[in-house]
Structure 1
């Protein structure tokens, strides 16, 4: 018996560390919102950091298991975001096609042990209420028992009222989700391209495990928006930066490393989770890959853009 134990000990030491390493979901399991914080199963504050995929109808090749694997193992993401396009020949026109892409990413994230944000990537979701309810009812029924899932039920509302338009919309989608999933986090878009989180602070949604979206592009949105963020945090509002860019609000222009790092410092200080926009090879500054790149090129620094190298280094560190 003694020799068997010694042999097993030697074998265990020879196994690679990866055999023992827990995935992010294995380590943290079911997430919850408490005050302004995202917390894990043990009540510890958790910060998720990762990448957002691009609009699903325009960059479909990255909606693959291989992308998820690389983002986890090479980029060291613990969360990723599937941005399912709604308008512009997206889900409203081709629901089965776009749903299949999103489910491919969800299935891969579950297999890899990552958290995955299921994003209704829309600017007019209040006009697509029934379609949104149907989509999230389906996703919550199919995946609601998986702690990996985070629902982002409205990407970026425009200049619309929080209390009269957005809160009623969110309330109905939350109700549809909670019929199947009573636990997983739901993130709600805020007015003005998900920047006016102060409006949500004045009139929050009286539901558990709900957070509020903050989006920024570092070269456009500077101290004024950071002040709004700190005000909301001080007021106890849970914030999730489901999308940010290193560039100006168009997604192009310069990569403003200085302003990006100021934002990172604030978010890291308050343990606010964030995903960078985006995993794409579109010819614009906020894409992480140069044009005509492949999924495998995510592992090659020479194929990364200025933004890609900056963000990847941040995630790896």
Structure 2
């Protein structure tokens, strides 16, 4: 111990003996993770609420179709999104057809497992997404997959299930989409009675009003609302408002800052209008997507490292816009 260290120790001892308060500040407590802070989420009315019943708005990023951008499904990327981008939620978008889970089930499932377990380790929420446009044609496979996921992870409050990414325009909510959800939900609830399930809606998860008018019975059910800011504007916000007014809880598991095809100009003005709407109604969101594909919706430029760290020069226009929003709205 050097002279100065000895002097400090003697001073602290004298202050203690004389009854003086030690003014040396204590080490700050380690900051809570989002899951430590919010705990077990549930649905109350049109809101996702935390363990105390207070409305919660999660914000984060969605990974791209797993079979095409699977390199990003790694623990380092999840950690970077939490720490540098201040994600409170990430979404593992497991591709189903087109060379995805139906053709390579173990390979694609392992990518989801990697992201889920990284999110649990980091203390953030994670959406397990059956990324399919025709999931009602794959009911048996979806039931088996979600049964396994619920058995593995149902005890963790981190997990959110998304059984049907984007039903197309044609399937009927009442006779095709809703029964599919009910079948998958029944499998999940055998093993996980509590965690939130976010159910896809007709027309690429835009017709949340139909689901609100004919809701799925059960606890902790929300409905998926997807939008792309340059394509879907006030008309879709009006549909969302109708659903909210009927008591439906909405969760934007995917949105883009550009056009619905993933390209075109990033619409910053409309993106901000959407964020104002989501903030006003406490609706959680994930941005599409963590990818380096050469398209406007990607957050990263082509050739960017899949593990991070990502500098400003690695980010696309959309990536910069979304990261700034995440940082500006990050909870202290």
Scaled by the length of structure 1, the TM-score of the pair is: 0.95
Question: Residues 89, 25 of structure 1: CA spacing in aligned structure 2 closer, same or farther, 3 A cutoff?
Answer: same
Partners of 1:230 and 1:298 in 2: CA distance: 38
1:224 pairs with 232, 235, 242, which one?
235
1:127 and 2:121 aligned: no
1:112 and 2:129 aligned: no
CA contact (8 A) 1:84 1:120 kept: yes
1:248 and 2:263 aligned: no
1:163 maps to 174
1:257 and 2:247 aligned: no
Q: Residue 295 of structure 1: CA displacement?
A: 3.0
Question: Residues 166, 91 of structure 1: CA spacing in aligned structure 2 closer, same or farther, 3 A cutoff?
Answer: same
1:103 pairs with 97, 113, 117, which one?
113
2:156 pairs with 137, 142, 146, which one?
146
Greater CA deviation, 34-43 or 230-239? 230-239
Question: Residues 186, 192 of structure 1: CA spacing in aligned structure 2 closer, same or farther, 3 A cutoff?
Answer: same
Flag structure 1 segments of 5+ consecutive residues without an equivalent: none
Secondary structure at 2:253's aligned position in 1?
Answer: strand
1:92 and 2:107 aligned: no
Q: Please give the per-residue CA displacement for 1:258-313, whole angstroms capped at 9, x wherever unaligned.
A: 00000000000110000000000000001000001113555301110000000000
Q: Please give the per-residue CA displacement for 1:144-189, whole angstroms capped at 9, x wherever unaligned.
A: 0000000001000002100010110000000000000000000000
Partners of 2:159 and 2:224 in 1: CA distance: 16
Partners of 1:132 and 1:167 in 2: CA distance: 14
Secondary structure at 1:168's aligned position in 2?
Answer: helix
1:280 and 2:291 aligned: yes
Partners of 1:166 and 1:119 in 2: CA distance: 16
Partners of 2:24 and 2:135 in 1: CA distance: 55
2:3 maps to none
Secondary structure at 1:179's aligned position in 2?
Answer: helix
| Mapping for residues 1-317 of structure 1, pairs under 5 Å | 13=26, 15=27, 17=28, 20-159=30-169, 160-297=171-308, 299-317=310-328
Q: Indicate the RMSD between aligned Cα atoms, in angstroms.
A: 1.6
Q: Residue 12 of structure 1: CA displacement?
A: 7.4
Q: Residue 249 of structure 1: CA displacement?
A: 0.3
Q: Residue 230 of structure 1: CA displacement?
A: 1.0
CA contact (8 A) 1:298 1:304 kept: no
Q: Please give the per-residue CA displacement for 1:73-125, whole angstroms capped at 9, x wherever unaligned.
A: 00001000000010011000110000110000000000000000000000010
Q: Residue 231 of structure 1: CA displacement?
A: 1.2
Question: Residues 125, 204 of structure 1: CA spacing in aligned structure 2 closer, same or farther, 3 A cutoff?
Answer: same
Q: Residue 20 of structure 1: CA displacement?
A: 1.5
Question: Residues 238, 248 of structure 1: CA spacing in aligned structure 2 closer, same or farther, 3 A cutoff?
Answer: same
Flag structure 2 segments of 5+ consecutive residues without an equivalent: 1-11, 17-21
CA contact (8 A) 1:297 1:303 kept: no
Q: How many residue pairs align between the two structures? A: 310
Partners of 1:48 and 1:169 in 2: CA distance: 26
Q: Residue 46 of structure 1: CA displacement?
A: 0.4
Secondary structure at 2:191's aligned position in 1?
Answer: coil
Partners of 1:296 and 1:172 in 2: CA distance: 37
